[in-house]
Structure 1
Amino acid sequence: MAERGAHITTASPTDNRPSIFEVVAQESLMVAVRPALHHIVKVLAESNPARYGPLWRWFDELYTLLDLLLQQHYLSWASASFSENFYGLKRVAIGNNREHHTLQRKEYWKSLMLLVLVPYLRLKLEKLVKRLREEEDYSIQNPTLFRKRCYKAILASYPFVKLSWEGCFLFYQLRYILWNTRHHSPLLSLAGVQLARLTLEDLQAMDTRPEKPDSTQSVLSVGSILKKALGGVSMTLSSSLSLGVFFLQFLEWWYSADNQDTLKSLSSLPAPSPPIHFDLEIYSPLLPKLKTVCPLCRKVRVNDTALGTSGYVFCYRCAYYYVKNHQRCPVSGYPTELQHLIRLYSPDS
């Protein structure tokens, strides 16, 4: 049984088809890149909200743009995505002559759109479902409204959609392990390509050919300059991420369960003093003189709620709607989300 398992998960030496471990490893690489960059932007935004706050608010769109430049560079130069090229793989069109080392225009654009657009739409859908669930829990609306019924339909159908999506990928991977197909993912099947290992001829071709040969390239100087600039940005991003892959391993260890004792020892240090770098002329009018008054509604606080990012205390209703609409603390400007709201209980309650 063990010999059979080793046989079906290991590629033949004479076959150019990658093993299941290689294709799964290259997929997990890009999954780890986004949370690492997201954490870096969050730290920057908390350290300087005025300067880096827009990076936090538009992180999804900026990351998608960077991902587009990165994947475009590698698809045109190596006929593979960034993670696929990192593990020595390439994309080959189904039924294509192996003498061609580049993807054709049709497969190129399909691969680019599926690599960049599908993860972005999936992320937006998950955030939409999360927001609808929060509105379902905290907002009060007439259940007979058409909008409310649509929200309930989306929330009810999303688990089944997600199950079908994950089940489809699992089905393709099982077929790939059992040698019944050359696609480990339905996205590759939609793009009309399959994965193969890089050969010596491929490496030589990548070193000798230009970044993206195109017979229809415009002869206008402005277009050529723009293309060179985008190519330089793509090369810089790819080189930086290639070096940053090793740093991602450190971040994974830092937030792993084995390192929780170290994090607890650091968090047990004395609490820092309140922020003093704010301009008092700007922020002092927002802070009431009485400590029992909410800085937003200027009334005695009801259901005292503190923001975990800044420590200021508000009414729960005031803090909830402000953070939901602005994603920041109303006093300090620190990036804040709804999970940072902390309910405070007095000794009399």
Structure 2
Amino acid sequence: DEIYVLLDLLLQQHYLARCSASFSENFYSLKRIPTRGCAQPPLAAAGLPKRQHWKSLLLLVLVPYLKGKLEKLVSSLREEDEYSIHPPSSSWKRFYKAFLAAYPFVNMTWEGWFLIQQLCYILGKAQHHSPLLRLAGVRLVRLTAEDIQALEKKSSGATSSQTHSIKTQVQSAVRKALGGIAFSLSTGLSVSVFFLQFLDWWYSSENQETIKSLTALPTPPPPVHLDHGAGSVLLPKLKTVCPLCRKIRVNATALSTSGFVFCYRCAYSYVKTHQCCPITGYATELQHLVKLYSPES
């Protein structure tokens, strides 16, 4: 994720500095202009003011990154809440219970804010289709013929009129490197879109029969059950002992894939890490853990 964010940062920085627009906005011939303080829209080649430039860059890159990280955190917390054992009075459990309960409302408010902003934009009541543009202090307009000419002159002039100082050469090399990275990313995006469309066609319902005939393989035999006798090093002699921790089982839990019984914590930790039964090696997921209750409980 961090490598992707770094590449996205370089890409958006290049396009904001060169075209006053993000990569996708430039693709659709759009540019960003300050919302206030300009009677006439500046040319795209002039770039944004520093304040709007850095705010746009952070909102383009940082906000999606943080939102994705938050969603992953919520997903992991929900998984822990579903399968882990916590004391009822645990302060940590109360904290993340409150966090998990509040997150859907926070997310609904966030998405509702975007929806209301888009509706206002469609009805002509707002200048921005996204709240992030409003926070950045910019709005989107179409590129004009003057903008296109200025961008062409800027790209051609950058290569022709250069002094031979070391500082200028370094700056030129950095610009060329950023331009090459941006071009590679844009080309890779186009190829990726084509590849995704090809996969969509390949796996469409019309081609399912052809795919099945091409990829049909004989059904593999069922897995061979491992023979663990009473003297096996993996199985303790006492049936009340957990095969993993070699102690008396606590919160006995069976794996529905193999039938072997372990401590809940031992089975949960092992299956979460290895995704298999520790005795038979059969593929196992957390939902295959079955809690056992003795007649006395």
Larger radius of gyration: 2
Match of 2:90 among 124, 145, 168: 145
Match of 1:250 among 190, 195, 198: 198
1:100 is the counterpart of 2:50: no
Ranked by relative contact order (alpha carbons within 8 Å, sequence separation 6 or more), the top structure is 1
Match of 1:87 among 23, 28, 39: 28
Match of 2:101 among 152, 156, 163: 156
Separation (CA, whole Å) in 1 of partners of 2:28 and 2:257: 49
Match of 2:187 among 213, 236, 239: 239
Tell me the CA shift for residue 125 of structure 1: 0.7
Flag the 1:262–1:79 CA change in 2: closer, same or farther, 3 A. farther
Residue pair 2:245, 2:266 contacting (<8 A) in 1 also:
no
1:230 is the counterpart of 2:178: yes
Match of 1:190 among 108, 121, 135: 135
Flag the 1:99–1:136 CA change in 2: closer, same or farther, 3 A. closer
Tell me the CA shift for residue 242 of structure 1: 3.0
Flag the 1:254–1:163 CA change in 2: closer, same or farther, 3 A. farther
Percent identity between the two aligned chains: 51
2:85 partner SS: coil
Partner residue, 1:121:
66
Tell me the CA shift for residue 238 of structure 1: 2.1
Q: Give the residue type in structure 1 aligned to 2:139.
A: Q
Residue pair 2:271, 2:284 contacting (<8 A) in 1 also:
no
Single out whichever of 105-114 and 79-88 deviates more from structure 2: 79-88
1:194 partner SS: strand
Tell me the CA shift for residue 168 of structure 1: 0.4
Tell me the CA shift for residue 182 of structure 1: 1.2
Residue deviations 1:177-230, cap 9 Å, x none? 10011101100100111111222222222222149x9xxxx9376565445433
Flag the 1:180–1:155 CA change in 2: closer, same or farther, 3 A. same
Partner residue, 1:6:
none
Partner residue, 1:46:
none
Q: Give the residue type in structure 2 aligned to 1:199.
A: T
Q: How is 1:151-300 mapped onto 2 (pairs within 5 angstroms)?
A: 151-210=96-155, 219=167, 225-252=173-200, 258=205, 261=208, 265=212, 269-271=217-219, 290=228, 297=244
Matched residues, number: 251
Residue deviations 1:90-117, cap 9 Å, x none? 2222133323322222111111111111
2:112 partner SS: helix
Single out whichever of 236-245 and 120-129 deviates more from structure 2: 236-245
Partner residue, 2:288:
343
Gaps of 5+ in 1: 1-59, 275-287, 307-312, 332-337
Residue pair 1:68, 1:112 contacting (<8 A) in 2 also:
yes
Flag the 1:116–1:168 CA change in 2: closer, same or farther, 3 A. same
Residue pair 1:89, 1:195 contacting (<8 A) in 2 also:
yes
Separation (CA, whole Å) in 2 of partners of 1:153 and 1:341: 24
Separation (CA, whole Å) in 2 of partners of 1:221 and 1:329: 54
Residue pair 1:305, 1:314 contacting (<8 A) in 2 also:
no
Residue pair 1:72, 1:112 contacting (<8 A) in 2 also:
yes
1:69 is the counterpart of 2:10: yes
Separation (CA, whole Å) in 1 of partners of 2:202 and 2:261: 33
Separation (CA, whole Å) in 2 of partners of 1:340 and 1:202: 57
Q: Give the residue type in structure 2 aligned to 1:241.
A: L
Partner residue, 1:40:
none
* TM-score, normalised by the number of residues in structure 1: 0.59
Residue deviations 1:46-71, cap 9 Å, x none? xxxxxxxxxxxxxx222212221222
Match of 1:303 among 255, 258, 262: 255
Tell me the CA shift for residue 265 of structure 1: 3.8
Residue pair 2:21, 2:30 contacting (<8 A) in 1 also:
yes
Separation (CA, whole Å) in 1 of partners of 2:73 and 2:210: 32
Separation (CA, whole Å) in 2 of partners of 1:155 and 1:272: 43
Tell me the CA shift for residue 254 of structure 1: 5.7
